[in-house]
Amino acid sequence: MPQRTIVLGIAAAPPRQTSSASGAAMPVEPLLCREISLAGKREGVEVFAFSAADFDAAAGRLYGYCLEKDRWIRREVPCPDVIYDRRFFASRRDRARSDEVLSRLTELKPHRLLNGKLPSKLTVYNALSGDPVLQPLLPPTASYSAWKQLAAAAERYSRGIVLKPAAGMQGRGIMHVRRDPLTSDWVVRGRSKGNQPFVRRFRSSNELLPWITAFTKQSAFLLQPYLQLTGCNGKPYDVRSLMQKDAGGRWRCTGTSAREGDARSVTSNLHGGGCVRPALEALTANLGRSTAERLLSRIHTISGQAATQLERNFGRFGELAFDFGIEPNGKLWLLEANAKPGRDCWRRANNPELHQLSIDRLLQYARYLANAYRTTPALAFTK
């Protein structure tokens, strides 16, 4: 008996124009939307992308971008059974307008969100710290508030400290601050808010203080000790794991990949010029096969533990990515959790089967949610 077709809407930012001769409009993250749409045709899932601008509030009609004969066509679409939230906002006003549209869609037809939302990085850190298994894997983290706090931490940690935006992404705005043991200069290296690498030297704290103040102005930052998360080649690297729920609503580790940055960079983020290697290959090159296999097994286990802990604190999720740092001695650190993981890490890993699995599981879980709503409507509004 064939499965019924369900409707998946990919909520995104307003679309941009293509550079093609036709000038046809297309959704944000067009490659991801295309991959999900193509897989949806095989899985019996109708897929479209939409933004707040695509809802006609007066008429109660929703329009979306549908992939038809390898072209994006904007047309009227049905209200979705499940929404996959890929919204990244430029302002609070944009967020409020988009949230209002999702609320209106719920009035027209109850839907379920495929994924929940994570709060600030510090709130996530505090939630993960509540698990005694996870707590030793978390770098000491505090909200940055004053110069004296930074100076004291820089003296306490011999390798210096890291300041990073509390709500940042893609490595933007992160910096490593330390004292040069030979000259006593302050050395700051990091990535600008435009994600460009920089290195600055300051002869005294009187020079550094106004620069730090200007850089962190009007944004919340977190303070952590600097960890030496580099490989044998001196390049920073980390391992990202992707946890997803399967067709039965159970957490599974879809896969892992290692991201390697430039030797001059603070991070291994791909948007900062990093590259991808298979996780086992990268760990073996740096730590040997036996240690690599042990660490990879532990990363799988810890990822499942962290996903469960985040659900316990913040409600239901369908997918979560976790970033792990590894010191030269094999010490493992859980660095970050991400509820809106990009797919570049999997596309560049030269493992099409793993990447396709990440798309298929997303759709299979969407079907699971839609069917769960049909049998238990009261769950429709839960995260």
Dihedral sign computed on CA atoms, order 289, 329, 165, 99: positive
User: Is 161 contained in some domain?
Assistant: yes
Task: Examine the domain organization and report whether 336 and 220 are in the same domain.
Answer: no
Report the relative pairing of strands 251-260 and 237-245 from DSSP bridges.
antiparallel
- Where helices occur in 274-351 by DSSP H, the ranges are 279-287, 289-314, 344-347
Query: Which range of residues forms the domain containing residue 46?
Result: 6-113+374-381
In a 10 Å sphere around its CB, with 0-12 CB exposed, 13-18 middle and 19+ buried, how is residue 6 labelled? buried
Contact predicate 115/318, CB 8 Å:
yes
Using 50, 70 and 90 to split pLDDT, how confident is the model at 269? low
The larger pLDDT score, comparing residue 266 to residue 213, is at 213
Domains held by the chain: number: 3
Q: Are residues 251 and 343 in the same domain?
A: yes
Per-residue burial over 288-321, b = 16 or more CB atoms within 10 Å of its CB, e = otherwise: eeeebeebbeebbebbbbbbebbeebbebbbbbb
Banded model confidence at residue 114, pLDDT cuts 50, 70, 90: very high
At residue 11, φ and ψ (nearest 5 deg) are -80, 125
CATH code of residue 249: 3.30.470.20
Same domain, 215 and 302: no
- pLDDT digits 0-9 by tens, 56-67: 999 999 999 999
Are residues 32 and 157 located together in one domain of the fold? no
Supply the pLDDT for residue 94.
86
94 CB burial (10 A radius; 0-12, 13-18, 19+): middle
Other beta carbons within 10 angstroms of residue 264's beta carbon come to 12
The last residue of one of the domains, among 201, 225, 249, is: 225
Look at residue 355 and tell me if it is in a domain: no
In tens, the pLDDT along 349-377 reads: 778 888 999 999 999 999 999 998 665 54
Q: Is residue 356 included in any domain, yes or no? A: no
Domain boundary among 165, 194, 225: 225
In-domain check, residue 359 = no
Residues 57 and 70 in one domain: yes
Report yes or no: 278 and 285 within 8 Å, Cβ to Cβ: no
Q: In what order do the strands lie in the sheet with 237-245?
A: 275-278, 251-260, 237-245, 319-326, 332-338
Predicted structure pTM score: 0.90
Are 125 and 260 in the same domain?
yes
Q: Is residue 358 part of a domain?
A: no
The pLDDT of residue 379 is 42
Which amino acid appears at position 95 of this protein? R
In a domain, 364, yes or no: no
If asked whether residues 126 and 93 sit together in one domain, one would say no
179 shares a domain with 76 = no
Give CA 12 to chain center in angstroms.
15
What's the CA gap between 277 and 261, in Å, rounded? 11
Say which amino acid occupies 124: V
Residue 108 has pLDDT above 70, yes or no: yes
* Residue 219: CB atoms within 10 Å: 13
- Domain for residue 362, yes or no? no
Residue 342 lies in a domain: yes
Q: Are residues 242 and 330 in the same domain?
A: yes
Domain boundary among 225, 259, 289: 225
CB atoms < 10 A from the CB of 338, how many?
16
One domain for residues 129 and 267: yes
Contact between 32 and 363 under an 8 Å Cβ cutoff? The reply is no
pLDDT band at 32 (very low <50, low <70, confident <90, very high): very high
Closest of 125, 253, 246, 269 to residue 197, by C-alpha:
269
CATH assignment of the domain containing 86 = 3.40.50
Distance CA 87, CA 50 (A): 10
**CB within 8 A of 16, min separation 6: which ones?**
25, 26, 28
Share of the chain above pLDDT 90, in %: 62
**Of 236, 139, 144, 242, nearest to 191 (Cα)?**
236
Residue 132 sits in the same domain as residue 146: no
Same structural domain, 240 and 192: no
